[in-house]
Structure 1
């Protein structure tokens, strides 16, 4: 699975992957928060990170965004769950983008387990997410960091 560079022309497809993945995995997130986040991600967040993706069957199967050694976003299309896309993107982010840290929603235990399998350890917790909402975050750092 080849990891590819992302450009602005991919943003529309990325946001579709983001939304379908969030709806499949972030059951704790109310609809209003998803609708609030969508334009912010498109307008600001995609430009603030190093973005990479994997395409399968001529569509983006998953993508990752890293800034300042922190994994800011990792989303896989639900049609490709369980196919190693997330692991491949993380391996690339660690080896090529210097990813050492990640914040994970506490209400998403599958994601926490995934990052633990990728060599990350819990180092702390915040009561609020990055937008100040009451969705606690687990702070994780990669072994050896």
Structure 2
């Protein structure tokens, strides 16, 4: 049984650990140099961010989501807990707050694109580079309710 709650300042190290494990499992397209540069940015930013956490019965974080003004900036699940519906639970929670939520996903991360489309997101566009101008195309997605 998982629950969803806001992060606490003392959980920064665990959040970074989740991010690193998830990226290492799903972002094999990143160059080592870009992976390191992004890691440095994440280590500085994530521990300070207000995140939605999916936690187990003991309060141990298994996944996190960052939403900024209706845009899901991040969704990462510890690979040890993938396939258990944790990411979907976080997305449903986000949609309960922001029904028209949007997100972006790396084009090379086909599993993530499939996940979001299964959740009901529709493609709304594509950028040839990521937000930092790196050569990783981005697919823009939005929840479209009928």
Normalising by structure 2, report the TM-score. 0.90
> In the alignment, is the contact (CA less than 8 A) between 1:66 and 1:99 conserved in 2?
no
- Offset of residue 39 of structure 1: 2.5
**Where does structure 2 lack aligned partners over 5 or more consecutive residues?**
none
> Is 2:38 the partner of 1:37?
yes
- Corresponding residue for residue 123 of structure 2: 122
- Corresponding residue for residue 55 of structure 1: 55
1:94-131 Cα shifts (integer Å, max 9, x gaps): 10255610011000011001000111000100000011
1:51-73 Cα shifts (integer Å, max 9, x gaps): 11112264311000000111100
1:65-101 Cα shifts (integer Å, max 9, x gaps): 0001111000000100100110000000110255610
Q: Alpha carbons of 1:42 and 1:28: their partners in 2 closer, same or farther (altered >3 Å)?
A: same
Q: Aligned pair count?
A: 144
Matches within 5 A, 1:1-145: 1-44=2-45, 47=48, 50-56=50-56, 58=58, 59-97=60-98, 100-144=101-145
Normalising by structure 1, report the TM-score. 0.91
| Counterparts of 1:60 and 1:40, CA distance in 2 | 21
Q: Alpha carbons of 1:68 and 1:79: their partners in 2 closer, same or farther (altered >3 Å)?
A: same
**Where does structure 1 lack aligned partners over 5 or more consecutive residues?**
none
- Offset of residue 46 of structure 1: 5.4
